[in-house]
Homo-oligomer: A and B are copies of this chain.
């Protein structure tokens, strides 16, 4: 859910500063490659029927005692404003007026003790709790069709401490990326975590879902950044992390990082930060084809000469990106000529965005040279810094574009995974085949992928699919495709999610991911600290 500046509810990513719309080129590309669609009327919240709050007066009174009257809301506006989820299915549900997952009350604590009090009270009363940060889950992590409170963490958004010697910032879970960066920048630091949901997602959400971002190759995933955390559970408090690393048994930080609100609520987190970069080089690069780019990325990762941002589009994504953004202003025949001179066939080429950041000009340049030594060996051709800067400037526009595509009547979704370098080509093929088959027949869907995070042993794969939405049953349409593609990912031995988390949408495949005994292990953890199963039931572990 997003709010317009006038305060009106809007079940779309948001209201961009500059309108994002589909230009004629894009429309004709879609018509040709995906099929014609008819515009989809926006949702109209005014007419929605919301069930009466299902909490007892006594439940509400108890919660009010803990956080104060004004922080327990059951009014229609608050409940609709805390409908979580930002997946295609979430938005499709809103377009047909389905708000069965609205919380019965919105409770907004300010302190750890208040959170603990709420969880204890809810456990005693068997009231389910869905912790809510930015509400940007794309895997149904917040969608609960039974009585529950939304535990809004937005008031817990303080920068508690900055240890500039150790480069550790301590924050409340409800702080968003933009707010944290705005507080860190004047003190010379950055977190450097830039998920696609950056404008709205919260730091607690990052950690609870093991998010990765556009610069994770250089800055690390959210889980790599966690120094320590405090977790409130129905059975008390955990304080985990007593140093940068430890051999004191299993990694309990790692058990609560990624626990998706199913074990407890992260009420404080200390994260590694870095010096705010003063030097940045972002550039566009074209490889002869996706395989060449992939090999270059592999070699860079294995020789530890990676950049901070390393993003490589496959041929299909390269085609749409060049169509939509004309990187560096070079496009069409001029681009073709430029590339042909350098031995790259535009129609098969693969676009990469590579970005280096740092505080020392020489060091950034030295790192760039080291990466380029590798890129050149694989036939890379530079498109220059203008292409890189253009990507950087527009990189948060994806979700707005999705709104425009939905308005035009298209289904747009993303799936992501990670696997070893050896298995990556087969994973790419399997994902594309499963989506093409399940969302056929021709001309659509249009399927395109990129690598956005490289490891020494493998890489992530992020796939976007566009099809004509089945307006009679859009949720069923995507659900069948999701099943097919997740089966395909799982059959490949790849992880069911590299950075979107499990939520409810991936929960049926958790048993393939970690085996029946692995699921049992997580269940024993949960039943130990949440015996009443009130913590985000159905997320992470199948209900």
A168 interfacial contact with B, CB 8 Å: yes
- Given known contacts A166-B421, A168-B420, A521-B528, A250 and B243 CB-to-CB distance under 8 angstroms: no
Among candidates B260, B420, B523, residue contacting A243 with C-beta atoms closer than 8 Å:
B420
**Residue A4 at the B interface, CB < 8 A?**
no
Write out the residue numbers on chain B whose beta carbons fall within 8 Å of the beta carbon of A499: 247
Interface membership of A255, Cβ < 8 A:
yes
Contact residue among B210, B249, B252, B514 (Cβ-Cβ distance under 8 Å from A260): B249
State which of A38-46, A93-101, A310-318, A456-464 sits at the interface with chain B: A456-464
Closest to A222 in B: B247
B168 and A227 contacting across the interface, CB-CB below 8 Å: no
With A274-B456, A421-B166, A457-B168 as known contacts, state yes or no: A498 contacts B255, CB within 8 Å. no
Question: Could you give, for residues 498-529 of chain A, a 1 whenever the CB lies within 8 Å of some chain B CB and a 0 otherwise?
Answer: 11111000100010011111101111110111
Is the C-beta of A455 less than 8 angstroms from some C-beta in chain B? yes
Chain B residue numbers with a CB within 8 Å of A209 are 247
Which residues from B are CB-within-8-Å of A166? 420-423, 457-458
**Interface 9-mer from A51-59, A178-186, A489-497:** A489-497
Q: Judging by beta carbons under 8 Å apart, are A227 and B515 in contact? A: no
Q: Tell whether, in the assembled complex, residue A522 and residue B163 are in contact, meaning their CB atoms are under 8 Å apart.
A: no
For residue A360, CB closer than 8 A to chain B, the reply is yes
Inter-chain contact B251/A257, CB cutoff 8 Å: yes
Any B CB within 8 A of the CB of A366: yes
- Asked whether any CB of chain B lies closer than 8 Å to the CB of A223, the reply is yes
Q: Assess whether A422 is in contact with B514, with CB atoms less than 8 Å apart.
A: no
* Of the residues B245, B246, B363, contact of A303 by C-beta under 8 Å: B363
A521 to chain B, nearest CB (A): 6
Task: Verify if A417 is at the interface (C-beta below 8 Å from B).
Answer: yes
State whether the Cβ of A235 lies closer than 8 Å to any Cβ in chain B: yes
The answer to whether A140 has its CB under 8 Å from any CB of chain B is no
Interface residue A272 (Cβ < 8 Å from any Cβ of B): yes
Copies of this chain per assembly: 2
Give the nearest-CB partner of A242 in chain B: B495
Q: Indicate which residue in B246, B459, B501 contacts A249 across the interface (CB closer than 8 Å).
A: B501
Interface residue A256 (Cβ < 8 Å from any Cβ of B): yes
Chain B residue at smallest Cβ distance from A540: B249
- Chain B residues near A453: list those with CB within 8 A: 245
Instruction: Report B-chain residues with C-beta under 8 Å of the C-beta of A540.
Output: 249
A497 partner residues in chain B, CB cutoff 8 A: 246-248
A249 touches B168 (CB 8 A): no
**B248 near A517 (CB under 8 angstroms)?**
no
Would you call A258 an interface residue if the criterion is a C-beta within 8 Å of the partner chain's C-beta atoms?
Answer: yes
Name the residue of chain B whose CB is nearest to the CB of A262: B249
Interface residues of A (CB under 8 A from B): 163, 165-168, 209-212, 221, 223, 227, 233, 235-240, 242-252, 254-260, 263, 272, 274-275, 298, 302-303, 305, 358-360, 363, 366, 370, 417-423, 453, 455-460, 493-502, 506, 510, 513-518, 520-525, 527-529, 540
| 18 additional contacts (CB under 8 A) given A221-B245, A244-B458 | A165-B422, A227-B457, A238-B514, A238-B515, A240-B518, A243-B458, A243-B498, A246-B496, A247-B500, A248-B506, A249-B513, A250-B263, A251-B255, A252-B514, A252-B521, A255-B255, A275-B303, A305-B363
